């Protein structure tokens, strides 16, 4: 396989991983960005800390898997399967591990 095609495939996988991470991040972080009633539960750390880490991990996991497996496998297109599997496992791990606050502040319960 041509080295340029190999580079473009790696970049495509990195972009796909970062896009997948952003698509998984958006609905889960929506409450933290909105903040609920009068924005009392707003937590912007999901925007400034969690989002860059998720995009970086989503881009690096399939890219590193692609790079490692293309050095082991004779046919580089066979390296696509482990890279996509790593992306799927990373997305699953993200949905299982990362859960920002989804409920309002505990002080906003029913009245007396």
Percentage of the chain with pLDDT > 90?
37
pTM of the model: 0.78
Ramachandran class of 39: left when φ > 0, alpha when ψ lies in -120 to 50, beta otherwise: left
3-state secondary structure 68-90: HHHHHCCCHHHHHHHHHHHHHHH
- pLDDT tens digits along 2-38: 778 778 888 999 999 999 999 998 888 887 787 766 7
Q: Is the pLDDT of residue 61 over 90?
A: yes
Show me where the domains of the chain are located.
3-93
- Asked if 99 contacts 28 with a C-beta cutoff of 8 angstroms, the reply is yes
Distance, CA of 20 to CA of 89 (rounded, Å): 12
Q: Which tokens in the block code for residue 13?
A: 């996988």
Residue 109 pLDDT level (bands cut at 50, 70, 90): low
Residue scoring higher pLDDT (29 or 108)? 29
Q: Which residue has the tokens 């490692």?
A: 68
Q: How high does pLDDT run on average in the chain?
A: 83
């Amino acid at each position: 396989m041509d080295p340029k095609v190999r580079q473009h495939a790696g970049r495509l996988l990195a972009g796909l991983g970062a896009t997948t991470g952003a698509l998984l991040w958006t609905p889960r972080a929506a409450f933290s960005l909105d903040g609920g009633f009068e924005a009392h539960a707003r937590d912007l750390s999901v925007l400034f800390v969690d989002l860059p880490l998720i995009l970086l991990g989503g881009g690096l996991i399939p890219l590193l898997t692609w790079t490692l497996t293309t050095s082991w496998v004779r046919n580089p297109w066979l390296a696509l399967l482990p890279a996509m599997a790593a992306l799927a496992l990373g997305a699953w791990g993200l949905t299982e591990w990362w859960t920002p606050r989804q409920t309002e502040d505990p002080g906003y319960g029913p009245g007396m």
